[in-house]
Structure 1
Amino acid sequence: MGSFARVGAELEALGARRVLLIASVSAKTRADDLAHHLGDRLAARVHEVRQHVPQALADDTVALARDQGADAVVTVGGGSATGLGKAVALDTGLPLLAVPTTYAGSEATPVWGVTGEHKRTGRDLRALPRVVVYDPELLAALPASTTATSGLNAMAHCVEALWSPDATPVTDLLAAEAIHLLARALPRATWNPGEVADREDALLGAWLAGTAFAVAGGGLHHTLCHVLGGTWGLDHGATHAVLLPYVTAYNAAAAPEAVATVARELRADDAARGLWDLARTLAAPPSLAVIGMPAGGLDEAAERAVTAVGERNPRPVDVASLRRLLDDAFLGRAPGGSARPAG
């Protein structure tokens, strides 16, 4: 508790003298405190952050950093603030210090994303924050809906890391422990956020999940989330929350050891149904329709995801099977955990 007060010292250790401060609206009070502490070391502030990091916003923020002679970037907020900071760090090479205020875990990965006509993503160590300051006090007032969806975003990092072709024994251990922590801490952090220990466990789970994902990488689940979110403007955390049980069911027979680990750590008989039940416990959105996905976009989403995922998914993908997955997720049907891949 209280580690936010160390941000200034961490910036000193980075040698920062001209700081660009990026903060979400929900983190304005903390950002104001930090700006006051920085004094004349504050080069500029950015108050506007948007999901999926629009290209124009990224370009404007990079230009601001250069015009003001910034030598470091600090983000205070959730994944959108962190994502904008990553875009600046990627373009300028400036060191990034992240202060997360949700459980999404983006701060632990080198994955970046910027959205023009469609969303582009990549992996680059320049986008990985040099320093992350976790403070559970900053999440005490986090809305239950954001706790749920950002926490399930972190859960998706675990699940995909387990079945990634680049998984290692170490990432498997990290992902399994993260699932264990998140499955137990998220319900309590969602419905009783005043308990500090639960927020600490959820943050630790999010960090472990992101660390595993940073090495192992993702597959179909993250591809679908970026396609749907970047093209149709869906809430990023909510998209993760809806899709994860369905992608787990889709991959179940092709990644039996990974899916068995998920089920074990959830204490569930079936991994997909366990994730579905957890999402219902958290009152997460139940379907793509509820979060604004147009039915008319499902065909395009399936086609684009097949192209984008390549060979990074344990089960080969095709348009017809992805269209069925998306249809189930659109309608909010319970996932079929025993589904077997075609062929």
Structure 2
Amino acid sequence: MHALEDPEAPFRFDYRPAAIRYGAGEVTGLGDELARVGVSNALVVAGTTTGTTPAVIDPVREGAGKRLGEVFAETTPEKRLDTALAGAARYDDRGCDGIVALGGGSSLDVAAAVRALVAHDDREEAVAAFADTGRLPVPEGLPPLVVVPTTLAGADLSLGAGLTATPANGHVETAVDGGLSAPGLMPEAAVYDPELVATTPTGVLCASAMNGFDKGVESLYARTATPITDGTAARGLALLRDALPTLRGDDPDYGRALRGMVLVQYGIARPEGSTLALIHAFGHGLTAHAPVQQGAAHGAVAPHALAHLFAGADGRRELLADAVGVEADDPAGGVVEAVASVRDALGLPARLRDVDGVEREALPAIAATTAADALVENVPAGVAVDANALEGVLDAAW
């Protein structure tokens, strides 16, 4: 029995989220949010496409008004250290006093690194620490951050970010796949506007949605679940199970999808731990060894990861079944099928062999990296998370 199935079980929930602003056209209030947190000259950190596409950047400019100082449209999916350093230099050059992160998970992650770097007295020392340990130190005195997501990855209310470096891009002698994490990285505000999400290409949006959907699934079965995250994740999954299949149709429900994504990520990133678990650990393992989009990798692996979970533990299968709308004598099997159905409706690959960049011979290394990921600590007791067992899951997904 999961500990939270006991209504008298004690729990502690320490969560200090961003102020959340949601609604069609709400990006017009971006300037108000910047004023609220004391920003008069914001650096907008965005992708090379997002930051130059008029349908996206023009509403942001208009919403920020005189509080927008500069657009740094140089982030890439690799989340590179050199990009973050260039962003920090631009921040200094333009005399900025806050950051707006615009786009998907990559831009939000790079913005978090820029935020940490501009607060460092000695950036060379911070870079050296990242090269040695894979972790970029996060100092006190971070500048304010407002996030404006354009995808459904659910990376917005976060305390951490990914960051990479290669010798080709400077600053390191060997490749580093790491990141940064600290309670202070939670943004001050998040502005969710379905009209901006609607500008994202369908394929990109659908892949990001799978990543976000799995956050809700994992929040219900993780050891670190709480009654509060049970409520938000279950409601979010109910919205997503209906909205996500519409994204490839004639009448996509961006509003319901975005509301669901806010809910499934609410409370999952807390100072004492995350509710992300096995599926996201596999995502980290796959992206560490293959140039894949994490959401696409999730689509192929998630049903098999859940089947493995349910083979070793209850996994709160009945709660999950109710959240994804399954009425079956076999709730575990129903959940696996429901997750696969969402993946198929999003048009994502059903097999790892069909995910560009994943090679069969890399599966043992992917399994080893997954087994070493910190998120496997959140997997319920009884589920095998050693490299051999996880390689079996990858074989099934292949």
Tell me the alpha carbon deviations over residues 250-305 of structure 1, each in whole angstroms, 9 at most, x when there is no partner: 11144425332222222234211210122112211222222221222111111122
**1:92-107 → structure 2 map (5 Å cutoff):** 92=119, 93-107=142-156
SS of 1:285 mapped into structure 2:
coil
- Assess, with a 3 A threshold, how the Cα gap between structure 1 residues 240 and 66 changes in structure 2: closer, same or farther: farther
Q: How does 1:151-166 map to 2 (within 5 A)?
A: 151-166=209-224
- Structure 1 contact 245–273 (Cα < 8 Å) conserved: yes
Q: Give the stretch that moved more between structures: 41-50 or 221-230.
A: 41-50
Give the TM-score normalised by the residue count of structure 2: 0.76
Is contact 1:239–1:288 with CA below 8 Å preserved after alignment?
yes
Counterpart code for 2:207: T
What residue number does 1:11 align with? 34
1:83 to 79, 94, 109: 109
RMSD: 2.2
Bigger drift between 170-179 and 254-263 goes to 254-263
Distance 1:66 1:242, change over 3 A: farther
Residue deviations 1:12-70 (CA, integer Å, cap 9, x gap):
11211221111231353132443466566444322122224122222222233234332
How far apart are the structure 2 equivalents of 1:62 and 1:231? Answer: 29
- Which residue matches 2:335? 271
For residues 134-173 of structure 1, the aligned pairs below 5 Å read 134-173=192-231
Aligned sequence identity (%): 28
* Number of the residue aligned with 1:20: 43
Tell me the secondary structure at the aligned position of residue 35 of structure 2.
helix
Aligned to 1:293: 358
Out of 157-166 and 30-39, give the one that drifted further.
Answer: 30-39
Provide structure 1 residue ranges, at least 5 long, that are not aligned to the other structure.
331-343
Give 2:162's aligned amino acid. Answer: G
2:129 aligns to what?
none
Match of 2:99 in 1: 73
Residue type matched to 1:213 in 2? I
In structure 2, relative to structure 1, the CA distance for the partners of 1:274 and 1:75 (3 Å cut) is same
Match of 2:138 in 1: none
* Alignment-derived partner of residue 14 in structure 2: none
Q: Provide the rounded CA distance (Å) in 2 between the counterparts of 1:123 and 1:258.
A: 29
Cα 1:129–1:162 change in 2 (3 A) is: same
User: Aligned partners of 2:285 and 2:90: how far apart in 1?
Assistant: 29
1:186 CA drift (Å): 0.8
- Give, in whole Å, the separation in 2 of the partners of 1:138 and 1:262: 30
Instruction: Report the secondary structure of 2:161's partner residue.
Output: strand
Equivalent residue for 1:313?
379
> Which AA in structure 2 matches 1:87?
A
List aligned pairs for 1:173-252, cutoff 5 A: 173-193=231-251, 198-215=253-270, 216-252=274-310
Question: In the aligned structure 2, how far is the partner of 1:276 from the partner of 1:132?
Answer: 30
Query: Equivalents in 1 of 2:179, 2:384: separation in Å?
Result: 21
Alpha carbons of structure 1 residues 62 and 241: separation in structure 2 relative to 1, 3 Å: farther
Return the alpha-carbon distance in structure 1 between the equivalents of residues 229 and 219 of structure 2: 7
Cα distance in 1 between the residues matched to 2:199 and 2:66: 30
Shift of 1:108: 1.9
Alignment pair present for 1:2 and 2:25? yes
Give TM-score, length-normalised by structure 1: 0.87
Q: Which residue of 2 aligns with 1:324?
A: 392
Supply the distance in 1 between the matched residues of 2:395 and 2:182 (Cα, whole angstroms): 34
Asked if 2 retains the 8 angstrom alpha-carbon contact of 1:52 and 1:113, the reply is: no
CA contact (8 A) 1:241 1:279 kept: yes
Q: Counterpart of 1:83 in structure 2: which amino acid?
A: D
Aligned partners of 2:45 and 2:87 also within 8 Å: no
Task: Give the 3 Å change call, closer, same or farther, for CA 257–304 of structure 1 in structure 2.
Answer: closer
Mapped contact 2:300–2:351 kept (Cα < 8 A): yes
- What secondary structure does 1:46 align onto? strand
Q: How many residues align?
A: 327
Specify whether residues 144 and 38 from structure 1 end up closer, same or farther in structure 2 by C-alpha distance, changes over 3 A only.
Answer: closer
Instruction: Tell me which residue corresponds to 2:86.
Output: 60
Change (3 A) 1:39 1:218: closer
Question: 1:242 Cα shift?
Answer: 2.1
* Whole-angstrom distance in 2 between the partners of 1:263 and 1:15: 45
Residue 119 of structure 1 aligns to a residue whose secondary structure is strand
Give the number of the structure whose alpha-carbon radius of gyration is greater. Answer: 2
Equivalent residue number for residue 133 of structure 1: 191
Do 1:163 and 1:255's aligned partners in 2 also have CA atoms closer than 8 Å? no
Q: Deviations over 1:228-262 (max 9, x none)?
A: 21332211221222222121111114442533222
The answer on whether the counterparts of 2:368 and 2:387 sit within 8 Å (CA) in structure 1 is yes
> How many angstroms does 1:212 deviate by?
3.6
